Amino acid sequence: MATDLECQTSTTTPEIDERLYSRQLYVMGKEAMYELRNADILISGMRGLGVEIAKNLILCGVKSVIVHDCNNVDYKDLSSQYYFSESDFGQNRAEVAKEKLSELNKNVNVTYSSSNIDEDFLQKHKVNVFVLTDGDIDNQVKIGDYCHEHGIKFVNANTKGLFGQIFCDFGQNFKVLDTNGEDPITEEIVDSISHDEIGVVSITTYTKHGFEDGSYVTFHDVKGMTEINDREFKITVLDSYTFIIGDTRNFGVYEGGGTVTEVKKTETVHFKSFSDSLKNPEMLICDFSKMSMSANLHLSFQGLSLFQNQYNALPQPWNDDDADKFYEIVEKLNRENREQVLTDQLNKHWIRLFAKTCTGDLCPIQSVIGGIAAQEAIKAVTGKFMPIRQFLYFDAIECLPENVFHSLNEGTSESNTRSNFPSKQSRYYSQEVVFGEDFQDKLGNAKYFLIGSGAIGCEILKNFAMMGIGCGRDGTVFVSDMDSIKISDLHRQFLFRSRDIGKMKSIVAAQSIKVINPNMHIHAYVDGVLPETEHIYNDHFFQQLDGLVTAVDNVKTRQYIDRHCVYYRKPLVDSGIFGTKASVQVVVPFLTESYSSTNDPSDPTGDLSTVINFPISINHTIQWALYTFSDLFTISAQQAEEFVRDPKGFAERTAKNLSEYGKNEAIENVKRILVEHRPRNFTDCIKWSRNLFEQQFHNAIVQLLHNFPRDRVVDKGKLFWSGNRRCPHLLKFDVNNKLHLDFIIAASNLFAHMYNIPQICDRQFIAQEVTKVQVPEFKPKDIFTADNDSNQCRVDDQQRMNVQEKNNSSIEQLLNRLPKLDEIVDIKIQPHELKTDDDTNFHMDYIVATTLLRTENYEIQITDRSQIKRIAENIIPAIVTTTAMVTSLVCLEVYKLIQGHKKIESYRNVCLNLTLPFFAFFESVPPKCQKI
């Protein structure tokens, strides 16, 4: 048999390309990623499901993948296997798939085999995980039990028409290192820790603590009751703001301060073998509106092999006689070899639908199961997140015509379905087996608009191409994206390659999808869907559409598109992803509420006063670092550059557009940049940076503590510096402190770049020069402050409050206050536009150093550079497994929309979390109606 397994020779530990896997690292963490990069995976079965699992695991960056299949490509594969074409007929599936899969990630060694898999094969090729797809029941039992006995993690995945199955066996004592995927909860302690036999801890009323009964926590920086610092406590939750840690009478009395952090514990999970689980299954329910569906499908998947053994064939599509025979087999299977029936809710209608559609292959179904199965394989390798215990069953019978899946007697629609049975061997044959040729024509002639062609968009296009949407004579898929391809996109946007970096996403995606299905009519736009582009996306454009799918990452764009859908009465399917969490919302005109009908709660923690004076979290210090970067290197520099370029025009625009305070601030910025702080050489930049350090981390704190002394008492004898306020301490510059010097280096080089002064990175030179800088002594000012109004706490705000002048400065008055032209001869200003992806421009160096110095000021728990970057960029953690799954759920809703479903109970909104794992399918909410 053909194989290229001899290519698998590397034994070295692969490195992690942090630029490539940046989004995934925020999901998995470095330790799990190292485990993944050392994983060897075997995937048997290279039809649609197998290739989907392989694609996901290769993009995620495992060490090696063996793709296996003993059979050849035929026309039935083309409806879901996107790497096959008619030219591949007669060739081995694994060999053909391997060629395309190898292009996805050059860091992964992909090989293939068409040999029979037996004990010798598994002993020779050591793998961490065996993923079996499309196996018959005998093969599943044989391989599953062998893997259980020999410590090989086993994932079994199958799809039949509109139904899917996953089974996991990771051994007797599998260690789950992270059960929920959440960062350890850290909360500010406020008010008190009681000094008694129960030890009640009260935390800030700023937010709910989020701890659960039985959680373990540890304390840091507690004053007075110092004995609890760095010790673990198992807690009992009283309410959302208090919990118990136990007897504290032998400790000191709590005086204030401190943080409490969740301690994550490893959990051991015991798995049964496949054969044992068949008899006594443990099943994860994913649709609580069909509680008995899992048991019915557990029997149906087993019954399929029994039917094939008895009749030497699978049930014929939409054949009543075969469906009845199949039901008899399942009914018998439910009773035999058991002390009691597996389920007393055997559903004849569901089982008959299973029989009638089981020979079909649907790309969205296989992508749902493929996404989950790949995530389970990752869990098996890394111990990261809770595995499925042990069976999961999935169905999408609502995609069938409503008169079929809602009816307990589907015979009334049987003749229509049979007459629609595919009459030719087309690429959509395996989809037409389920839905019929007439519906395939509807799909082909549909006009859909996909907004976004990033990770979600690529997966949507894959499904559309396999479904045949826009592939008919009158059909079209429109796709828009104004973004270009970056290296960090490649690990989850499978239509792109490294050669495409810098090109426009929508154009490359359209070109790539035409390779998968040359029949698709696709029109790519590089213009965003914005108020400024309504001449492109005009009335005619929207009126021709059958529906829209959003693949965007911000609420504002979603709401804008949603308004257009409401206006033009077009259906919309939206999805959102955050790491392993995802959601789907389907919007149907006059049937469901719109996307904008509900709003996410606003974040109460990020007001400017808190960020500037009372930070309590790393998020606040990062926001402050971003604020100072913008203030120092962007806004003021832009104003100065604008003045140098066009002095009179700057004065006119300033006089017309800004308030009196805004005018004063703009003038001071220009004077400061062009005259007062203008450096002549890099040494001047070092001097400026040293004074900036003093102002930000010393003087500002001195002034704040002068306004609000540490012992200041407010209402009812409570200390001002308590509760939601951390009392800061000032920093004294130390050239031998690496972080202090990091700040000077970053700020000096940013400042030098603004003035086109050559940059210097020599730490020794900068350290020598900065020690020569004489910093003036700072004396705090006496400024009135109010105990109950934190907005008055900012020293600079007092100046704003004192500015009462009317908006009456003339252009001439402004010009008189601005620098004279002879003062700014030969000066050119370059404002900085924050770019965090470039490690050589000092932007992230400044943000990181400023953030960490600020956390030191306020004794806030620090984090690493990658987390600071994630928060600063507002990066959404992402992994391709979640993306592949949730986009397929979107496409299942598109099936229903093109079918023309009229009942709200036919549609499904979804919330899911592959970490737990948790799946919630629920009906849409109807729109509010008003009588006029």
- What pLDDT digit, counting tens, does each position of 764-792 carry? 999 999 999 999 999 999 875 555 444 44
CATH number at residue 191: 2.40.30.180
Task: Reduce the DSSP state of residue 72 to 3 states and report it.
Answer: strand
Angle at 362 between CA 350 and CA 162, to 5 degrees: 10
Q: At what angle do helices 618-629 and 865-873 cross, to 10 degrees?
A: 70
Query: Which of 228, 263, 298 corresponds to the end of one domain?
Result: 263
| Percent of the chain's residues with pLDDT above 90 | 73
- Can you give the pLDDT at residue 611? 84
- Average pLDDT in the chain: 90
- Across-strand partners of 394? 164
Residue 361 CA to residue 231 CA, distance in Å, equals 55
Query: Which of 859, 887, 906 corresponds to the end of one domain?
Result: 859
The three-state (H, E, C) secondary structure of 550-587, written as one string: ECCCCHHHHHHHHHHHHHHCCCEEEEEEEECEEEEEEE
Interval 202-214 mean pLDDT: 81
Residue 82 CA to residue 263 CA, distance in Å, equals 44
DSSP state of 384: B
Together in a domain, 282 and 257: no
- As a 3-state breakdown, the chain gives helix, strand, coil percent values, each rounded to 5, of 45, 15, 40
Q: Is the pLDDT of residue 10 over 90?
A: no
Residue 884 CA to residue 469 CA, distance in Å, equals 18
Together in a domain, 592 and 665: no
Q: How confident is the model at residue 812 (pLDDT cuts 50, 70, 90)?
A: low
Torsion of CA 129, 133, 137, 143, to 10 degrees: -20
Cis peptide before 877 (omega within 30 of 0): no
Q: Which comes out higher in pLDDT, residue 100 or 929?
A: 100
- Can you give the pLDDT at residue 802? 40
Residue 343 CA to residue 298 CA, distance in Å, equals 10
* Domain that includes residue 910, residue range: 436-602+877-922
Residue whose tokens read 């005009």: 538
CATH number at residue 791: 1.10.10.2660
Q: How confident is the model at residue 804 (pLDDT cuts 50, 70, 90)?
A: very low
Residue 739 is assigned to a structural domain of this protein: yes
Residue 98 is assigned to a structural domain of this protein: yes
Together in a domain, 115 and 133: yes
Residue 481 is assigned to a structural domain of this protein: yes
Residue whose tokens read 């998968």: 516
Q: Is the pLDDT of residue 860 over 60?
A: yes
Q: Which comes out higher in pLDDT, residue 426 or 469?
A: 469
Together in a domain, 213 and 314: no
- What pLDDT digit, counting tens, does each position of 242-277 carry? 999 999 999 999 988 788 899 999 999 999 999 999
- What pLDDT digit, counting tens, does each position of 704-743 carry? 999 999 989 887 777 888 777 889 999 999 999 999 999 9
Q: Is the pLDDT of residue 14 over 70?
A: no
Lowest mean pLDDT among 90-99, 154-163, 252-261, 437-446: 252-261
Together in a domain, 258 and 279: no
Interval 66-71 mean pLDDT: 98
Task: Reduce the DSSP state of residue 489 to 3 states and report it.
Answer: helix
Together in a domain, 209 and 168: no
Interval 564-572 mean pLDDT: 97
Residue 402 is assigned to a structural domain of this protein: no
Residue 633 is assigned to a structural domain of this protein: yes
Residue 60 CA to residue 54 CA, distance in Å, equals 10
Strand order in the sheet with 581-587: 522-525, 476-480, 447-451, 547-550, 572-578, 581-587, 909-913, 918-922
CATH number at residue 86: 3.40.50.720
Residue 457 CA to residue 477 CA, distance in Å, equals 12
Torsion of CA 632, 22, 560, 524, to 10 degrees: 120
Residue 642 is assigned to a structural domain of this protein: yes
- Can you give the pLDDT at residue 632? 96
Together in a domain, 23 and 145: yes
Together in a domain, 598 and 641: no
- Can you give the pLDDT at residue 56? 98
Domains held by the chain: number: 4
- Can you give the pLDDT at residue 316? 95
- Can you give the pLDDT at residue 502? 94
- Can you give the pLDDT at residue 819? 77
Kindly report the pTM of this predicted structure.
Answer: 0.86
- What pLDDT digit, counting tens, does each position of 417-463 carry? 555 677 778 899 999 999 999 999 999 999 999 999 999 999 999 99
- Can you give the pLDDT at residue 311? 96
Residue 685 CA to residue 846 CA, distance in Å, equals 14
Q: How confident is the model at residue 407 (pLDDT cuts 50, 70, 90)?
A: low
Query: Which of 263, 279, 304 corresponds to the end of one domain?
Result: 263
Rg of the chain over Cα atoms, rounded to whole angstroms, equals 32
Angle at 17 between CA 14 and CA 19, to 5 degrees: 175
Cβ 474 vs Cβ 443: under 8 Å: no
- Can you give the pLDDT at residue 613? 86
Together in a domain, 252 and 309: no
Q: Which of 376-385, 824-833, 836-845, 872-881 has the highest mean pLDDT?
A: 376-385
Together in a domain, 340 and 453: no
Together in a domain, 500 and 372: no
Residue 410 is assigned to a structural domain of this protein: no
- What pLDDT digit, counting tens, does each position of 477-531 carry? 999 999 999 998 999 999 999 999 999 999 999 999 999 999 999 999 999 999 9
Q: How confident is the model at residue 381 (pLDDT cuts 50, 70, 90)?
A: very high
Together in a domain, 353 and 452: no
- Can you give the pLDDT at residue 562? 96
Residue 610 is assigned to a structural domain of this protein: no
Q: How confident is the model at residue 411 (pLDDT cuts 50, 70, 90)?
A: very low
